[in-house]
Structure 1
Amino acid sequence: MTSTSTPPGLARFNDLEEHAAAAALHEACASAAWGRRLIAGRPYADADALYAASDAAMAELTEADLAEAMAGHPPIGRPAPGDPASAREQRGMAAASADLRAEMLELNLAYQEKFGHVFLICATGRTGAQMRDAARERLGNTPEREREIVRTELGRINLIRLARLVAPVEEDRPRP
């Protein structure tokens, strides 16, 4: 059992059976190696320790691990049906014009052709135009430079998703 000083959402995560923790982490990131590393680090005293473990695990992912993680992300502008996380994160594309959506589709295809994987960006809080501009700019990168950017963007996405995972639920919050 986790200490009572641990925030309730994090305590719940710490106390999950291993298979349940793995499933919850897979929702945050499709890399099994990343998930195993975070499970191995439990229990976490606070969210910052969990986030630091996530960053350390991201830094150690192999090319195959990164490919596995990226395979869990739909293209920008086309969130996976039934995936509330990708729809929420890509909200900036929801109000985009038909022209911008068509351009983003073309950029996604050009990016995938050049780099062999989906264009990955931490879309939370970004407008459709900002995502388009980032895709345009990143098409000029070398594969080596792009891999490092992808690792950073994936790390940002993971931290946002981990924060949601360990956030207190309504019954945990103090009442006024």
Structure 2
Amino acid sequence: MTPTRTTLPVHRLPDVPGRVALPAPAPTPAAPTAPRTPPPLEHFNTAPADEAVRTLLSCLNSGRWARRLAAHRPYPDPPSLLAAADEAAYDLTPGDLTEALSGESPPRLPAGTHGAAHTALGAAVAAYESRFGHTFTICLDGLGPTEAPDRILEGIRSRLANDPEEERLVTADELRRLARGRLVGVLAGATAPEQRTSGT
């Protein structure tokens, strides 16, 4: 005769002396997830038009340039936006250039630069503005702080020899390069400065 086996319910342990069933541990509550911050280009692509225009104006103070770039969103990647910014900058009219230059301030020398360099820069900037009637602009991307003073002074002195039309073309290209550099900073998550200084 086959002995009968007793089957215990799965959820219970047999009543063995000295053995106590432990309760299952309470589930750990899930940590709250932080709201997702979109990458800068995605934010730029989806921002309201007036916000996108304000961002662009912080890179170059030309309303037509900023509105044109904002109107062509979305951009698939940063190089596409930078290429569009360059193209729009090449189309700046003399009036657009005047507007853009009104948002620029003269280049500043790095902290700690010798006083004689500040005096020389002040005199050179005054001579430039007297000749051309607008702020001197220069892009210093890729230069270290110690190289900036010589490049600025050399740039002003060489450009003082330009006629007004030549200087307009040089100035337009420097503004394009400045705008591109500032836009690269925006795409990297930096905040563009409200007060734009040529060379930064």
- TM-score category by the smaller chain? 0.7 to 0.9
Alignment-derived partner of residue 145 in structure 1 = 166
Alignment-derived partner of residue 78 in structure 2 = 47
- The AA in structure 2 aligned to 1:111 is Y
SS of residue paired to 1:93: coil
- The AA in structure 1 aligned to 2:171 is V
Alignment-derived partner of residue 71 in structure 1 = 102
Aligned length: 149
How many angstroms apart in 1 are the aligned matches of 2:112 and 2:140? 14
Alignment-derived partner of residue 135 in structure 2 = 118
Gaps of 5+ in 2: 1-37, 191-200
Give CA-to-partner distance per residue, 1:39-91, whole Å, 9 cap, x none: 011100011111111111111111010011111111112xxxxxxxxxxxxxx
Alignment-derived partner of residue 150 in structure 2 = 129
How many angstroms apart in 2 are the aligned matches of 1:115 and 1:66? 13
Alignment-derived partner of residue 121 in structure 2 = 104
- The AA in structure 1 aligned to 2:150 is A
How many angstroms apart in 1 are the aligned matches of 2:79 and 2:110? 30
How many angstroms apart in 2 are the aligned matches of 1:70 and 1:123? 17
- The AA in structure 1 aligned to 2:106 is P
How many angstroms apart in 1 are the aligned matches of 2:105 and 2:189? 28
- The AA in structure 2 aligned to 1:128 is P
Provide the aligned C-alpha RMSD in A: 1.5
**Native 8 Å contact 1:66 1:151 kept in 2:** yes
How many angstroms apart in 1 are the aligned matches of 2:54 and 2:113? 33
TM-score scaled by structure 2? Answer: 0.71
Poorly superposed stretches of 4+, deviation over 3 Å = none
- The AA in structure 1 aligned to 2:66 is G
Gaps of 5+ in 1: 1-6, 78-91, 170-176
Q: Which has the higher helix share?
A: 1
Identity %: 36
**Native 8 Å contact 1:93 1:101 kept in 2:** no
TM-score scaled by structure 1? Answer: 0.80
Q: Which has the larger radius of gyration?
A: 2
How many angstroms apart in 1 are the aligned matches of 2:42 and 2:92? 26
- The AA in structure 1 aligned to 2:166 is R
How many angstroms apart in 2 are the aligned matches of 1:14 and 1:119? 32
TM-superposed CA distance for 1:123, in Å, is: 2.8
